[in-house]
Amino acid sequence: MPESTVVMKEWQLALCPFVTLFVMASACAAEPIQTECGLVEGVENSAITVYKGIPFAQAPVGDLRWREPQPPLHWQGIRKADSFAPICPQTDPSVPGAPAEPTSEDCLYLNIWTPAHPAGAKLPVMVWIYGGGFSTGSASMPLYWGDRLALRGVLLVTVSYRVGAFGFMAHPELSRESPEHVSGNYGLLDQVAALRWVQRNIAAFGGDPRCVTIFGQSAGSCCVCLLMSSPAAKGLFQRVIAESGAAFPPLAAVPGADVILLKGAEEKGLEIQKKLGAASLAEMRRRPAAEILKASQNMPWMFLLDSQVVSREPYQVFSAGEQVDVPLLLGSNSDEGRPFLEGTTVKASSFRSDLSNTILANIPSSVLAHYPANSDEEAYASRAALERDVRFGWDAWTWARLQSTTGKSPVYYYHFAHVPPARPDSPWLRWGAGHWAELPYVFGHPDQAPGPWTDEDRALSEAIMGYWTNFAKNGNPNGPGLVHWPAFTPAQPQVLHFDSTIHVGGVANLDKLEALDRYFTEARKQPVAGR
């Protein structure tokens, strides 16, 4: 992901007052809670109690590296849940400018924010699955803290999962170890394990295990798409919120998609073994995490099709009406593609050839006709739009169409076009309503990021938090004081637009999405190497 030292420093400075106020609030130890493995003691701050660093699985180290998550160990006495656990090994923050955090393979923990509630309460539960391109991510960065959402009467959980080579590496020896003869997808298995922990334990914190919403952004949104497609996750959640990500494009249209198939993924694992100079899988498990990280550096990571978690492509699952059929709220942003062009020069004269080494390499001329490049300025706008539509826009539209056609549960579709404020020297100013732009509004933390935030921004955040938490409570985002959000249906494809105003309209950029859809429909008929 694009990074900026300026943004990093600005974001950290902006976070300081917020973090200080949170810590200096009248904090005291909360009444211990009994979990399946022992007592945990959180920290109570005014109307919110937070429990940090609760293990939902054993540390995936040593012989447990590249294995399914194992049940957590029991402990004696009271475990103080007053500090976040390290995040999984990675190189860069998953959100540009987010503060650096300590890393460790011992990272399978979750955090819980719960509002004050009467004994026996059954609060709706929202479980956050972070993004980061399957390579990075944090369950504890301040942007994702659940204090503001919890104040709206929900219990907020953030879960950690393995990323990069630790979470998604396949290998022939690993496949031979497995009863299902597959490997990889350990990060997805971590998410399933965390959701099962929630089912077994969340009632003790005041949560309702029968009213769980999973929600995520970017790769986290892709993960909730996969979980909605997976028999392994059935019964673990009752609502889905998906922000800017899914997994619907046909493999034949995606360059390098062979790594989604087991054979290609195993070859990638062998490449890492070769870089390590390791003689066997056992030796790879003995190597320090830093060596694994270095050997796999700059490798793109993705889920893979297996017989365990993701047995079929989500498009096939949804087309057959075999998805986990629950209410769905989803959408994407108007300028998603801009951050992906940071540091890239786009010229009209080389517009087509510059796509050759990117995810857009296979896009045909019939689609590119909708993205004109007659000047350098127009070429940049079209490249950003193409990145937006291929990576996020078409996925959201397709997901909404599939669920509203083959499912019985409602779909609520949004388009986020509000441009967050940014300082003149920040790259966020160039990104508009780009990737990540909605996150401060969703979590109620607009003032964390540097920029001249206004009452309009805060009001938008309040509205979005209202929609999200209403949906978690009722499977319907609507409520008093909010613009009515109609369900998306094939007959009435209505979208809620978050812009200078909140209003109902049609699908944004529909002509471009339809052109992509025609191409993807044909590509789906093509054979895929390695299958």
CA distances from 521 to 248, 258, 386, 398, 524 (A): 11, 19, 18, 11, 5
Residues 6+ positions from 89 with CB-CB distance below 8 Å? 103, 104, 105, 107, 163, 164, 166, 289, 290, 292, 293
Q: Residue for token digits 């990074």?
A: 3
Q: At what angle do helices 219-228 and 186-201 cross, to 10 degrees?
A: 70
CB atoms near residue 34 (< 10 Å): 10
Q: Is 117 noted as a catalytic residue in this protein? A: no
Measured CA to CA, the distance from residue 164 to residue 298 in angstroms comes to 10
Sheet holding 411-416, edge to edge: 27-29, 43-45, 48-55, 109-115, 155-159, 123-129, 207-217, 239-243, 328-333, 411-416, 495-498, 502-505
Q: At what angle do helices 510-523 and 394-406 cross, to 10 degrees?
A: 70
Measured CA to CA, the distance from residue 415 to residue 418 in angstroms comes to 9
The helix or strand, by DSSP H or E, that contains position 268, with its residue range, turns out to be helix 262-276
Measured CA to CA, the distance from residue 214 to residue 161 in angstroms comes to 14
Report the SS3 class of residue 194. Answer: helix
In 193-349, DSSP assigns E strands to: 207-217, 239-243, 328-333
The two three-digit tokens of residue 69, written as one number: 């998550």
Q: Residue for token digits 């294995």?
A: 67
Q: Is 46 noted as a catalytic residue in this protein? A: no
- CB half-sphere exposure, 293, CA atoms < 13 A: 15
Q: Residue 392 class from Cβ within 10 Å (0-12 exposed, 13-18 middle, 19+ buried)?
A: buried
Residue of 135, 138, 160, 218 marked active site: 218
Contact 330, 218 (CB under 8 A): no
Residue of 435, 438, 461, 497 marked active site: 435
Phi then psi for 186, rounded to 5 degrees? -65, -35
Q: Is 435 noted as a catalytic residue in this protein? A: yes
Q: Residue for token digits 């109620």?
A: 444
DSSP letters along 341-388, please?
GTT----GGGTTGGGTTSTTTT--HHHHTTS--SSHHHHHHHHHHHHH
Measured CA to CA, the distance from residue 246 to residue 240 in angstroms comes to 12
CA distances from 504 to 346, 412, 441, 448 (A): 34, 11, 19, 29
3-state helix, strand, coil in the chain (%, to 5): 40, 15, 45
Residues 6+ positions from 340 with CB-CB distance below 8 Å? 2, 387, 391, 435
Residue of 44, 266, 313, 336 marked active site: 336
Q: What are the catalytic residues?
A: 218, 336, 435
